[in-house]
């Protein structure tokens, strides 16, 4: 745990990346696996994650993110795209995955499926979109933690035009929309923010013990 906390103290929201340093295939695979293993409500994972390496695409995304340099300097851009609504087919696909993974008969999961449908599909469409977007932030946290463990720099970002991202990446026709993004790579020596002291609330101000 001591090492983990040291890693969390080491990480910061990197503003400038060294564009000549790339994440290895092995480390990138580990980051993806950490995101795949993320917690989510019911385990449904109502989102997909795009990993952008193509330089031309990154240039377009940078323009849609107020020209922030992280988009093109970073080794990869992780785009967490959530479902715009919860459809029955998503839940059914998940039930099939559960049944196959756990060696169960699909009919044994009928009650579980109906519970998820009742809790999510009964929500108004706008609230469904809010709920699915919230799940992406959990996955984002898993990415940030895994990256810190591997000493890979990241910058979680909300400063972008979601509609433009969706258009560039062709997300609308897939029933997806960009919820949050993160750039990943290695900090540039020119990034002065790496020398800033981390500012957080004290334990007394943050935690309420009951």
- How does DSSP assign 101-166, residue by residue? HHT--GGGGHHHHHHHIIIIITS-HHHHHHHHHHHHHHHHHHHHHHHHHTT-EEEEE--S-HHHHH
pLDDT given at position 125:
96
Look at the pTM and tell me if it is higher than 0.95: yes
Q: How would residue 188 be classed by pLDDT, with cut points 50, 70 and 90? A: very high
Which class is 22-85+126-195 in CATH? alpha beta
Q: Cα 81 from chain centroid?
A: 8
Q: How far apart are CA 158 and CA 59, in angstroms?
A: 17
Who's near 9: CB < 8 A, 6+ residues apart?
Answer: 198
12-40 mean pLDDT: 98
35-56 mean pLDDT: 98
Answer whether 92's CB lies under 8 Å from 113's CB: yes
| Domain assignments of the chain as residue spans, ordered by start | 22-85+126-195, 87-122
């Amino acid at each position: 745990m001591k090492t983990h906390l040291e890693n969390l103290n080491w990480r910061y929201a990197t503003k400038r990346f060294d564009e000549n340093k790339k994440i290895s295939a092995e480390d990138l695979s580990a980051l993806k696996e950490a995101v795949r293993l993320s917690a989510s409500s019911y385990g449904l994972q109502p989102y997909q994650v795009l990993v952008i390496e193509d330089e031309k695409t990154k240039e377009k995304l940078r323009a849609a993110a107020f020209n922030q340099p992280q988009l093109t300097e970073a080794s990869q851009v992780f785009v967490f795209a959530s479902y715009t609504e919860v459809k029955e087919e998503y839940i059914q696909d998940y039930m099939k995955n559960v049944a196959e993974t756990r060696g169960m008969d699909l009919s044994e999961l009928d009650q579980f499926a109906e519970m998820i449908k009742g809790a999510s599909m009964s929500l108004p469409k706008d609230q469904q979109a809010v709920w699915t977007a919230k799940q992406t932030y959990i996955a984002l946290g898993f990415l940030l933690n895994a990256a810190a463990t591997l000493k890979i720099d990241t910058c979680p970002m909300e400063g972008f035009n979601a509609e433009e991202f969706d258009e560039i990446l062709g997300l609308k026709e897939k029933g997806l929309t960009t919820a949050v993004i993160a750039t990943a790579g290695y900090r540039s020596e020119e990034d002065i923010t790496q020398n800033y002291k981390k500012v957080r609330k004290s334990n007394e101000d943050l935690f309420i013990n009951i």
